[in-house]
Amino acid sequence: MEQTITGTMLAKDTVDVSAQTETRNRKSGRIAAGTRLEPGFKVIAASAAFLLVASMVAIFILLSHEALPVFRKFGLSFITGSSWNPVLDKYGALPAIAGTLITSVLAVLIGAPLALGVALFLNELCPFWLRPILSTTIELLAAVPSIIYGMWGLFVLVPLMSQVVQPALIDLLGPLPVIGFLFEGPPFGIGMFTASLILSVMVLPFIASVSLQAFATVPVALREAAYGTGASVWEVCRRIILPYTKNGIIGAIMLGLGRALGETMAVTFVIGNAHRLKASIFAPGTTISATLANEFTEATGAMYMHSLLALGLILFVITFIVLMITRIFLHSINRNLPL
Amino acid sequence: MKPDAGILFRRRLINRIMTGAFTFAVLVSLTVLAAILIKLIGSGGNIFHLSIFFKSTPAPGSAGGLFNAIVGSVMLIAVAIIFAVPVGILAGTFLAEYGKNSRFGQVVRFCNDIMLSAPSIIIGLFIYAVVVVPSGHFSGWAGALALCLIALPVIVRTTEDMLRLVPDTLREAAVAVGCPYWRMIVSIGWRSARPGIITGILLALARISGETAPLLFTALNNQFTTFSMNRPIASLPIVIFQFAMSPYRDWQQLAWAGALLITLTVLGLSVFARHILFVRSRHGNRS
């Protein structure tokens, strides 16, 4: 009891305590040198912290500054235009923006149910001894560098998609009346769908890990009571855990979405880099990050360069918004976002 | 009253199906990880011998290794981490010890969260505009700076989290015997949070070891071995990208060898980093 009181007091006025020590030390005249270092240490630590704020603000200002000529020349048609033509020096970013959003949303649609399945398995079904091993293994999926996902996608997944999965899906779903157009076209292997599949594996560990942290906030008594009344594992998940952690799960999914939006290398390998808008999810497309990775070093001409930097700004703003939403939903477990 | 056998059967069936689905999701995740590792070892393992550590990247059709890329990567990562560690630890210390509830602390924490999740290619664009354009050429310094900005928020976050786990009674004990506050942070805070801070540094290392996107327009690439940070410099991820996308078979094989090398390094680092924390928490529970 006493500990907690003093603990919170110290937490509240840490600065105050340090000031008190300072006066005390000055009075006694001892360890004066050590005390004199105090303001210096605080200033150094504060400036290191300030460096973070400064770099984020600098990124935003710089990208806006570089993007300005583009919006001055094309206006809003830079965002709504769908022709990206460096030869004519005309730039419309819609295919890249749409590609970014479509691949990311599709990735989350595929990845989130899998991630929730993994998290619920770890939370409810997994034997206790297996837990740390399994959760570390799942986290390793997040540690694999994105270029490795890209290579694996290009050399393993793409052939599999073009020879087996896509022809089957096109035959199966293509002739359907309303949604058929989404699955039309030749089975290239590369394209938006393959990119989404790879992204879904990449966001899975993030969503699973944050969901698990949300599950940990469910009161034990609530779960036990449900099991006590004879509820099955699925009923506990469906009626207790999922409703209780709704916000955390939405936050987890938004965090996954934020990751998917900015992912570069994995997507660049398999997306096909085509600045065209096609309805079919099997068609080659592009994303903002893939466009940057493919074209930036080859960009001649000032307007081409400015357009690419403007794309970067748009990507930054989109991820910023998604992260803001994530923060709102994850407010309670905010301090434990995974790295 | 006897329970309705039909309802019981339905409930049990649904439970079977759903728990089966959970297990399926786990199996899918494990299969993907296994498939990636198997492909890496299968395609990169057969040419993974000592010569890739000693020979530079070849022209298509001739034998060679990844020496210049490995040297470049090590230099870029080392410079990045040397700058990121002190700044990151100090900023994390500020957040945990001085700026816990202050407005400024909240702003810093917010910016750190954004930087932590910001697309790494954006960092590359930023460094391109502030370093590469003014200096007129791509350079190792630019690449290292980009990696530094990516490592920084990871270190800040772990340092803050780990310092917060240090009990306040320890702090009070130090201050009560007349220890200046900064001295308390150094000798009590940092010392008891050391395993956690090291874990953060290792995780940051793992994160930047595989980063490709921010190096594309900062460090660029170099066919030759250079020890100068002032020139374009090769790095493993960029060489893998270039070689994997090329039509030459021997280049693709080298890319697989590089991919295997990077993945083993990164996975090893993250397992080791978690192991340090795990051992520590187990000790904590025992006492």
pLDDT digits (tens, 9 = 90+) for B188-208: 999 999 999 999 999 999 999
Q: A187, A160 in Cβ contact below 8 A?
A: no
Mean pLDDT, residues B238-262 taken together: 92
> Looking at the structure, do residues B127 and B166 belong to the same domain, yes or no?
yes
Q: Is residue A317 part of a domain?
A: yes
The number of residues in chain B equals: 287
Nearest to B168 among A7, A22, A140 (CB): A7
For B54-67, what is each residue's pLDDT tens digit?
888 888 878 888 99
> Looking at the structure, do residues A173 and A317 belong to the same domain, yes or no?
yes
Torsion angle of the four alpha carbons A180, A183, A184, A189, in this order, in degrees rounded to the nearest 10: -170
> Looking at the structure, do residues A143 and A205 belong to the same domain, yes or no?
yes
Nearest to B90 among A6, A44, A292 (CB): A44
Determine, for residues B104 and A148 on separate chains, whether the beta-carbon distance falls below 8 Å.
no
- Residue A21: count other Cβ atoms within 10 Å of its Cβ: 23
Torsion angle of the four alpha carbons A285, A71, B149, B233, in this order, in degrees rounded to the nearest 10: 70
Please state, in angstroms and rounded to a whole number, the distance separating the CA atoms of residues B223 and B235: 10
Mean pLDDT, residues A69-87 taken together: 90
Give the burial string for B105-142 (b: 16+ CB within 10 Å, else e): bebbbbbbbbbbbbbbbbbbbbbbbbbbeeeeebbbbb
Q: Could you tell me the residue range of the domain that residue A37 belongs to?
A: 18-74
The confidence score (pLDDT) of residue B286 equals: 37
> Looking at the structure, do residues B66 and B42 belong to the same domain, yes or no?
no
For residue A242, pLDDT over 90 is answered with yes
User: Testing the interface with A: which of B32, B184, B188, B264 to mutate, by most A Cβ within 10 A?
Assistant: B32
CA distances from B70 to A335, B114, B266 (A): 36, 31, 14
Q: Which residue of B has its CA nearest to A256?
A: B117
- CB contacts of B270 in chain A (<8 Å) are 139-140, 143
Determine, for residues B121 and A201 on separate chains, whether the beta-carbon distance falls below 8 Å.
no
B129 touches A: beta carbon within 8 Å = yes
User: Testing the interface with B: which of A56, A295, A298 to mutate, by most B Cβ within 10 A?
Assistant: A56
Q: Could you tell me the residue range of the domain that residue B15 belongs to?
A: 5-47
The confidence score (pLDDT) of residue A1 equals: 35
> Looking at the structure, do residues B71 and B22 belong to the same domain, yes or no?
no
> Looking at the structure, do residues A55 and A120 belong to the same domain, yes or no?
no
For residue A282, pLDDT over 60 is answered with yes
> Looking at the structure, do residues B112 and B139 belong to the same domain, yes or no?
yes
> Looking at the structure, do residues B121 and B246 belong to the same domain, yes or no?
yes
> Looking at the structure, do residues A107 and A61 belong to the same domain, yes or no?
no
> Looking at the structure, do residues A65 and A192 belong to the same domain, yes or no?
no
The confidence score (pLDDT) of residue B250 equals: 87
- CB contacts of B117 in chain A (<8 Å) are 255, 258-259, 262, 319, 323
> Looking at the structure, do residues B30 and B131 belong to the same domain, yes or no?
no
Q: B87, A51 in Cβ contact below 8 A?
A: yes
Q: A53, B107 in Cβ contact below 8 A?
A: yes
Residue in A272, A289, A78 with CA at minimum distance from that of residue A158: A272
> Looking at the structure, do residues B30 and B124 belong to the same domain, yes or no?
no
Q: Is residue A128 part of a domain?
A: yes
Sign, CA dihedral A107-A110-A116-A117, equals negative
Q: B138, B124 in Cβ contact below 8 A?
A: no
Q: A274, A295 in Cβ contact below 8 A?
A: no
Determine, for residues A59 and B32 on separate chains, whether the beta-carbon distance falls below 8 Å.
no
Distance from CA of A10 to the nearest CA of B (A): 7
Contacts of residue A178, Cβ cutoff 8 Å, sequence gap at least 6: none
Q: What is the CATH number of the domain that holds A270?
A: 1.10.3720.10
The confidence score (pLDDT) of residue A13 equals: 45
The confidence score (pLDDT) of residue A28 equals: 53
Mean pLDDT, residues A60-68 taken together: 94
> Looking at the structure, do residues B35 and B55 belong to the same domain, yes or no?
no
> Looking at the structure, do residues A100 and A63 belong to the same domain, yes or no?
no
> Looking at the structure, do residues A221 and A141 belong to the same domain, yes or no?
yes
- CB contacts of B84 in chain A (<8 Å) are none
Residue in A267, A258, A309, A261 with CA at minimum distance from that of residue A286: A267
The confidence score (pLDDT) of residue A2 equals: 37
The number of residues in chain A equals: 339
Give the type of residue at A92: G
> Looking at the structure, do residues B62 and B123 belong to the same domain, yes or no?
yes
> Looking at the structure, do residues A27 and A97 belong to the same domain, yes or no?
no
> Looking at the structure, do residues A134 and A69 belong to the same domain, yes or no?
no
> Looking at the structure, do residues A200 and A59 belong to the same domain, yes or no?
no
User: Which residues 184-223 of chain B have a CB within 8 Å of chain A?
Assistant: 185, 203, 206-207, 209-213, 216-217, 220
> Looking at the structure, do residues B40 and B61 belong to the same domain, yes or no?
no
- CB contacts of A339 in chain B (<8 Å) are 116, 154, 157-158, 203, 207
Looking at the DSSP bridge assignments, the partners of residue A90 are A85
> Looking at the structure, do residues B11 and B67 belong to the same domain, yes or no?
no
Strands (E), chain B: none
Nearest to B19 among A49, A56, A234 (CB): A234
B152 touches A: beta carbon within 8 Å = yes
> Looking at the structure, do residues B25 and B85 belong to the same domain, yes or no?
no
> Looking at the structure, do residues A117 and A34 belong to the same domain, yes or no?
no
Q: What is the CATH number of the domain that holds B223?
A: 1.10.3720.10
Please state, in angstroms and rounded to a whole number, the distance separating the CA atoms of residues A76 and A144: 38
Q: pLDDT class for A10, splitting at 50, 70, 90? A: very low
Nearest to A66 among B117, B129, B169 (CB): B129
Please state, in angstroms and rounded to a whole number, the distance separating the CA atoms of residues A209 and A248: 11
Q: Is residue A10 part of a domain?
A: no
Report which DSSP code applies to B57.
Answer: P
User: Testing the interface with A: which of B108, B110, B165, B181 to mutate, by most A Cβ within 10 A?
Assistant: B181
- CB contacts of A292 in chain B (<8 Å) are 121, 125
Q: Is residue A3 part of a domain?
A: no
Please state, in angstroms and rounded to a whole number, the distance separating the CA atoms of residues A254 and A323: 7
> Looking at the structure, do residues A295 and A248 belong to the same domain, yes or no?
yes
B28 touches A: beta carbon within 8 Å = yes
For A253-262, what is each residue's pLDDT tens digit?
999 999 999 9
**Domain edge (last residue) among A27, A47, A74:** A74
Radius of gyration of chain A (CA): 26
DSSP labels, A105-140: HHHHHHHHHHHHHHHHIIIIIS-GGGHHHHHHHHHH
Q: Please count the structural domains in chain B.
A: 2
Q: Please count the structural domains in chain A.
A: 2
CA distances from A7 to A38, A312, B159 (A): 22, 45, 20
State the pTM of this model. Answer: 0.90
